[in-house]
Structure 1
Amino acid sequence: MELSNLTTEKRNQASTNLDQMATMEILQTINKEDKTVADAVEMVLPTVNVVVEKIVESLNKGGRLFYIGAGTSGRIGMMDASECPPTFLTDPETVQTVMSGGNNAFFRAVENAEDNEQQGELDLKLKNLTKNDVVIGITASGRTPYPIGGIKYAKTNGAYTVGLSSNKNSLINDYTDQGIEVVVGPEVLTGSTRMKAATAHKMILNMISTTVMVKLGKVYQNLMVDVNASNYKLRERAKIIVMEITNESYEKAEEILNQTNFEVKPAIVMCQTNSTYQEALVALEECKGNVRKTISYLFNKKMER
């Protein structure tokens, strides 16, 4: 598909006089267009559901999730991947981003790097993909060579592949197992897909990573029970989480967390089942880290005695 025919490259009729608008008028125009993004995302939720289920299945088999993209798309992927270890205590290898131009391109654009399809293949090849991995190629236009090269290579290794774009019938999805085509319409600033398209993609990646981690047992109720309490703020959050779930005092929550090296999951299990730290760890291992299942498991075990 020619660039000029892409929805993401068309002119937005609501902003043709953008350069003549008053400041508030520009802001209101952008805001009005941004309101349409959530609706566009809603339209592709059934497809996102399919992708999430596949990622959960793959990660349960020891697989990994990769985002691959160029420019803004790569940066969005990197933002999402980098938040998984502190939020969900995942291994940094579990969710990764492969970005055209390398990690330095996160800070300074390397614009011509996105045109190299072979480099996308070479960069992903360094990750030693397996059939248990999932690769999501992110490209607003749907035709960026770099992620397409990565997707083509991923297919040869049996990895599950997804294309995340903002145009119908995107080229990248000629090569993927599943395409998420979230069509947000023309940008307020023509062709500037760092705006609505990027917002939609960020929303979808938030949904994917968060829902996957919930399904993997890294959330109890709606609380981050696998939070990496690596600083003062996060240690305080860990105490609040334990207090919320167990109704223990601040002092008791702190005491228990000191015993668990500020791991929230075993602290909750200890409080809720009157178990030792070691008993909690063993039970959590048995229940694959799922707090709700662990509490039920220990209760049932004690009832049998």
Structure 2
Amino acid sequence: MTFTKTTEQDSNYNHLEKMTINELLTHINNEDKTVPLAVEKAMPQIENLIEQIVIKLKAGGRLFYIGAGTSGRLGILDASECPPTFGVSHDLVIGLIAGGDTAIRKAVEFAEDSTNKGWEDLNTYNISEKDVVIGIAASGTTPYVIAALEHCNSKKIITGCITCNKNSPLSQVSKYPIEVIVGPEFVTGSSRLKAGTAQKLVLNMISTSAMIKLNKVKGNKMVDMQLSNNKLFDRGIRMLVKELNINYDEAQSLLEMHKNVRTVIQNYSHGN
């Protein structure tokens, strides 16, 4: 199959510098509207990968995201939000980026071109067949990511990917590829735009669905969230008011005592 980087093709718009701010915003917004529809077309692929993730996580495995640049940062963002949102260990979902933590804020030149560093980065976590690794690369051609997944395949570790090009080298090495084809960017080649939005939407789906299937949500509430600030503590109190049909002060005192929404619901429901 032929491979064409649609993410690198010329923008459908020209002379951007001559546009008014309103015109720029209108065109960017119109392009953004196409992203959820592109994600919808990839939902069977997304579902297949999530099914594998749930199996592995329930058996004590971990989920790894690995990427470079914007893709790597999006993986780290999603991983970092799982502990406060769902009360899971920081070791359950792990994001890795080419160039290490420095690259989260500042581009590290040529880090994404290494064909051995990705596997080395994964290996520092003693990765094994119990785990799942998702390579994230809008282009689908990032050597750091592709080589890491090839190593994983040789070790019988389940691999997936999130890319925005059809039939990319990354898709070819992924056991469970996700391809969200968003087409040319508003600014030619700027894959932090539609491609980045698509990757964020898919990551939201993956982590949220997996955590729900791990019973980290009750009803529609984040009952295992970490009460790490006043806003979240207040949210927890309001959950208890609604769930247990008690007043705010009583809910507050119970939450201060138990420090966890789920624990209060379980204890209170059992008359403790």
When normalised by structure 1's length, the TM-score is 0.86
Secondary structure of 2:37's counterpart equals helix
Q: Does 1:199 align with 2:197?
A: yes
Runs of 4 or more, structure 1, over 4 Å off, are: none
Per-residue Cα deviation, 1:50-99 (whole angstroms, up to 9, x for no partner): 11111111001100000000000000001100001111111001000111
In structure 1, C-alpha distance between the alignment counterparts of 2:19 and 2:56, rounded to whole Å: 50
In structure 1, C-alpha distance between the alignment counterparts of 2:183 and 2:84, rounded to whole Å: 34
Cα pair 2:64 2:133 within 8 Å, conserved: yes
In structure 2, C-alpha distance between the alignment counterparts of 1:216 and 1:125, rounded to whole Å: 26
- Structure 1 letter corresponding to 2:98: S
In structure 2, C-alpha distance between the alignment counterparts of 1:2 and 1:207, rounded to whole Å: 29
Q: Which residue of the partner structure matches residue 7 of structure 2? A: 8
Matches within 5 A, 1:153-232: 153-232=151-230
Moved more, 151-160 or 86-95: 151-160
Q: Does 1:234 align with 2:241?
A: no
Cα pair 2:2 2:167 within 8 Å, conserved: no
Q: CA deviation at 1:272?
A: 2.5
Q: CA deviation at 1:258?
A: 2.5
Per-residue Cα deviation, 1:120-146 (whole angstroms, up to 9, x for no partner): 121112121111100000000101001
Secondary structure of 2:146's counterpart equals helix
- Structure 2 letter corresponding to 1:124: L
When normalised by structure 2's length, the TM-score is 0.97
Q: Which has the higher helix share?
A: 1
In structure 2, C-alpha distance between the alignment counterparts of 1:94 and 1:81, rounded to whole Å: 8
Aligned length: 272
Per-residue Cα deviation, 1:209-258 (whole angstroms, up to 9, x for no partner): 01111111110111100010122222111111111211111111112223
Q: CA deviation at 1:175?
A: 1.4
Q: Which residue of the partner structure matches residue 48 of structure 1? A: 46
Q: Which residue of the partner structure matches residue 273 of structure 1? A: 270
Q: Does 1:35 align with 2:33?
A: yes
Q: CA deviation at 1:8?
A: 0.3
Secondary structure of 1:271's counterpart equals helix
Pick one of 60, 80, 97 that aligns with 1:99.
97
Gaps of at least 5 residues in structure 2 are: none
Q: Which residue of the partner structure matches residue 21 of structure 1? A: 19
Cα pair 1:71 1:111 within 8 Å, conserved: no
In structure 2, C-alpha distance between the alignment counterparts of 1:50 and 1:211, rounded to whole Å: 12
Q: CA deviation at 1:35?
A: 0.2
Q: CA deviation at 1:192?
A: 0.3
Relative CO higher for 1 or 2, CA cutoff 8 Å, sep ≥ 6? 2
Cα pair 1:142 1:170 within 8 Å, conserved: yes
In structure 2, C-alpha distance between the alignment counterparts of 1:241 and 1:213, rounded to whole Å: 19
Identity of aligned residues (%): 44
In structure 1, C-alpha distance between the alignment counterparts of 2:123 and 2:266, rounded to whole Å: 41
- Structure 2 letter corresponding to 1:272: S
Q: Which residue of the partner structure matches residue 251 of structure 2? A: 253
Secondary structure of 1:189's counterpart equals coil
In structure 2, C-alpha distance between the alignment counterparts of 1:244 and 1:43, rounded to whole Å: 37
Q: CA deviation at 1:157?
A: 2.2
Q: Which has the larger radius of gyration?
A: 1
In structure 2, C-alpha distance between the alignment counterparts of 1:244 and 1:108, rounded to whole Å: 45
Gaps of at least 5 residues in structure 1 are: 277-305
Moved more, 182-191 or 143-152: 143-152
Cα pair 2:54 2:210 within 8 Å, conserved: yes
Secondary structure of 2:116's counterpart equals helix
Secondary structure of 1:213's counterpart equals helix
In structure 2, C-alpha distance between the alignment counterparts of 1:94 and 1:187, rounded to whole Å: 34
Q: CA deviation at 1:2?
A: 9.6
